[in-house]
């Protein structure tokens, strides 16, 4: 049994470092009205040709720079993307609730062999979010 302040700190460190279990979510690919710049200020890229080499994605609540692993359950293909934008903001016409969890660039969708809309497995990876400093990404 872990006890005391040191034990609590150790338990919290283990909990923070342990990745969350994968969850099934509904994902989509960016639509044709995609922005020139992302909410983080990075230039928008349809492909995965960012300076750090990662495909990027939009999520409404995850911090910018968070890495997530996505798995296409139809074919087992996997990709790690970096969150650098906010969205998707599409709502179900009947319930008016947000009905999509993440928006992917075309490059990420191509690598996953993913159609425009459907289920994916999402796992938030442990670690401190990576946020580019001014000039790191060419902006």
12/31 Cα distance (integer angstroms): 40
Q: Is 28 helix (H, G, I), strand (E, B) or coil?
A: strand
CB neighbours (10 Å) of residue 56? 25
21/122 Cα distance (integer angstroms): 8
Going residue by residue through the chain, which has 139 residues, state the pLDDT in tens, using 9 for 90 and above.
444 444 433 333 333 344 457 899 999 998 777 667 889 988 888 888 776 778 999 999 999 999 999 999 999 999 999 999 999 988 889 998 888 999 999 899 999 999 889 999 999 998 777 665 554 444 4
Would you give the distance in Å from CA 78 to the centre of its chain? 13
Supply 38's token pair: 């992302």
- Helix (H), strand (E) at residue 137: none
What is the model's pTM? 0.75
For each of the domains in the chain, give its residue range(s) and CATH number, in order of start.
Answer: 21-124 (2.40.40.10)
Q: Are 48 and 59 in contact (CB under 8 A)?
A: no
Q: Are 90 and 98 in contact (CB under 8 A)?
A: yes
């Amino acid at each position: 049994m872990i006890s005391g302040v040191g034990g609590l700190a150790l338990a919290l460190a283990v909990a923070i470092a342990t990745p969350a279990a994968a969850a099934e979510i509904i994902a989509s690919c960016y639509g044709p009205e995609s922005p020139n710049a992302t909410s983080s200020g990075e230039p928008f890229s349809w492909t995965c040709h960012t300076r750090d080499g990662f495909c990027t994605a939009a999520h409404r609540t995850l911090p910018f720079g968070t890495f997530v692993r996505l798995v296409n359950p139809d074919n087992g293909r996997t990709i790690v993307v970096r969150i650098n934008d906010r969205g998707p903001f599409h709502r179900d016409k009947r319930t008016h609730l947000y009905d999509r969890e993440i928006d992917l660039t075309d490059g990420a969708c191509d690598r996953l062999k993913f159609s425009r809309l459907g289920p994916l497995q999402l796992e938030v990876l442990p670690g401190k979010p990576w946020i580019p400093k001014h000039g790191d990404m060419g902006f």
